[in-house]
Structure formats: structure tokens, C-alpha cells
Chains A and B, each alone.
Chain A
Amino acid sequence: NAGVTQTPKFRVLKTGQSMTLLCAQDMNHEYMYWYRQDPGMGLRLIHYSVGEGTTAKGEVPDGYNVSRLKKQNFLLGLESAAPSQTSVYFCASSYSSSGLAGDRNEQFFGPGTRLTVL
């Protein structure tokens, strides 16, 4: 199994350009997430999905859109890139369990996409 993969690994954009980051997982996980990580900081949740066809906003959703048309894929879009979106983007996925409080929620992470917006 490849686990969680992300494309591209690196990208440089000019301000105002658009792009889509692709995340794929082959573990049949229900849940998928997009995070950004800025230098010296922890990960901040952008958007997440609890299943095919559903998405929800995280902590820092502004300037991003997402889609989950297929269970194994989660796309992150930047419609008009800004320098403040320069960051490393991580995708993660996790399996669903019974829905009871205290569910295990181990997330498996991809290798990251380093994005620079000039």
C-alpha cells in the first residue's frame, strides 16, 4: 500500500494564480484532512471531510476550497494565491469507528507539498 500520497511535491505560484493539490489514499479511510504548516509551528486544519461528497471548514479555511468526489481523493484548491499562503501543505486520512466518544482517530499523513507564492 502506498498510504497517503500528495501531488505535486513542490510548486511556485505567482500572486493571483490558481492551483489544485491532490491527495490520494489507498487505505479505504472515511476521513480526510488538509493542514498547513508554517515555519516553526504546528499544523493548522484548513478543511476536512468525513466521507465522500462531504466537506467541512477547519481552523483556517479562508482562501481555500476542497472537494471529495471520490472516497480515495481529497482536492485542495487555491483560486487566487496570495503570499500568505506560502506554506507546507499536508494531507491526512483516518479510519472511522463506532462514533462513540473517545474514538481512536489516528491520522496518517502524506509527505507534504511545499508551496511558494511570489
Chain B
Amino acid sequence: GESVGLHLPTLSVQEGDNSIINCAYSNSASDYFIWYKQESGKGPQFIIDIRSNMDKRQGQRVTVLLNKTVKHLSLQIAATQPGDSAVYFCAENTGRRALTFGSGTRLQVQP
């Protein structure tokens, strides 16, 4: 799988701003996508999911956008809070009951 070694891409935003985290996926046959949040020392936590027959899905303060043409997924977080600081992973379901995870983006929220 893809790897960025020890240096995760980092997005730094001011508290209250909107955040956009991007993810490129690899398999055009993937039919289901999930965004996970992982805080330091914890396991990943589900944020939001989207099926391939949708372009957009909204949750509480979060929106996921899917562009199948360019195999791109994004997570938008509205009014980012310090508690949103974490590493965010996108994951794709390649149809074999298992997920393939991206390498993650670290979100840092400045007070």
C-alpha cells in the first residue's frame, strides 16, 4: 500500500475555520468509502460513510464528497474545534469484506 513514512501530511487550521481533508483512492471498483478519525493512542473511530452511488453525504458538522471520475474523496469539517485534532483516514471497500486504508492526514487545530 501507499506509504508516507513517518511524516504524515498535516493540515493546520484556526479554530472556527472549515477544514477540508482530501484522499485519492486507487480502486475504481470500490463501492463504499468511510472516513475514520484516530486520536493519539486510540483506535480509529467512524465519522461518516458514503456509497459509490452518491456524490455527497452530510452528517453533523461533516460532509463527505465523492468524485468517482477522478477517484477522489474529501471530508469537510465545519467550524473546526480543538477536539477535531487527530489523524484522519479514508478507507475504501474493495468488495472482499475488508477495507483498504489510506495513509492518513494529521489535522491540527490552532486555538
A residues lining the B interface (CB < 8 Å): 4, 31, 33, 35, 39-45, 48, 50, 58-59, 90, 92, 94, 101-112
Contact = CB atoms under 8 A, between A and B. Distances in A.
Contact of B43 (A42, A59, A111): A111
27 contacts: A39-B6, A40-B6, A41-B5, A41-B104, A42-B2, A42-B89, A43-B101, A44-B101, A45-B98, A45-B100, A50-B97, A90-B44, A101-B95, A102-B31, A102-B32, A103-B32, A103-B93, A104-B32, A105-B34, A107-B46, A108-B46, A109-B44, A109-B45, A111-B43, A112-B41, A112-B42, A112-B43
B99 to A, nearest CB: 6
Contacts of A41: 3-5, 103-104
A111 B101 CA distance: 17
A48 B101 contact: no
Contacts of B93: 103, 105
Interface of B: 1-8, 31-32, 34, 41-46, 49, 51-53, 89, 93, 95, 97-104
Contacts of A101: 31, 95
Contacts of B41: 112
Contacts of B100: 45, 59
B53 A42 contact: no
A102 B3 CA distance: 27
